[in-house]
Amino acid sequence: EAAVTQSPRNKVAVTGGKVTLSCNQTNNHNNMYWYRQDTGHGLRLIHYSYGAGSTEKGDIPDGYKASRPSQENFSLILELATPSQTSVYFCASGASGGREQYFGPGTRLTVL
């Protein structure tokens, strides 16, 4: 089965602080994605990547940066965290061509 892991699983940050969320996949998938999900709602795409060294803006990129240093790793960076970024963040990986995505367990981020 596809394996996507995320760290940390829970994070409490202060307003204005820097937060880095990490994602690792062992599926050898080219594509990786970062979503946020607010309570009771669907998934909103923040950034995605087609492969090592590439990042693309999703639907809500403002306030977030992404980094894909290798095929396996994809990070989401909040340079200046704000309370509005309190949410659950999911990383996913998928093969090329917009097909099935495999999700990590999620990171619950609280910005105070």
Partner 1 sequence: QQKVQQSPESLIVPEGGMASLNCTSSDRNVDYFWWYRQHSGKSPKMLMSIFSNGEKEEGRFTVHLNKASLHTSLHIRDSQPSDSALYLCAASGVRNNRIFFGDGTQLVVKP
Q: Return the bridge partners of 76, or none.
A: 21, 66
User: Which residue, 65 or 102, is less far from partner 1 as judged by CB?
Assistant: 102
CA–CA gap between residue 58 and residue 49 (Å, rounded):
10
Q: Is residue 104 a contact point for partner 1 (CB under 8 A)?
A: yes
Of residues 65-94, those binding partner 1 (CB under 8 A): 90, 94
The verdict on 5 binding partner 1 (CB under 8 A) reads: no
Contact yes or no for 91/6 (Cβ under 8 A): yes
Classified as helix, coil or strand, 83 is helix
Site string for partner 1, 6-35 (x = CB under 8 A): -------------------------x-x-x
CB nearer to partner 1: give 17 or 51.
Answer: 51
CB of 66 to partner 1, least distance (A): 14
Closest CA to 17 of 79, 97, 107: 79
Q: Which long-range contacts (CB under 8 A, 24 or more apart) does 54-63 make?
A: 58/33, 58/34, 60/36
**Closer to partner 1 at the Cβ: 24 or 80?**
24
Interacting residues toward partner 1 by CB under 8 A: 31, 33, 35, 40-43, 45, 48, 50, 58, 90, 94, 96-106
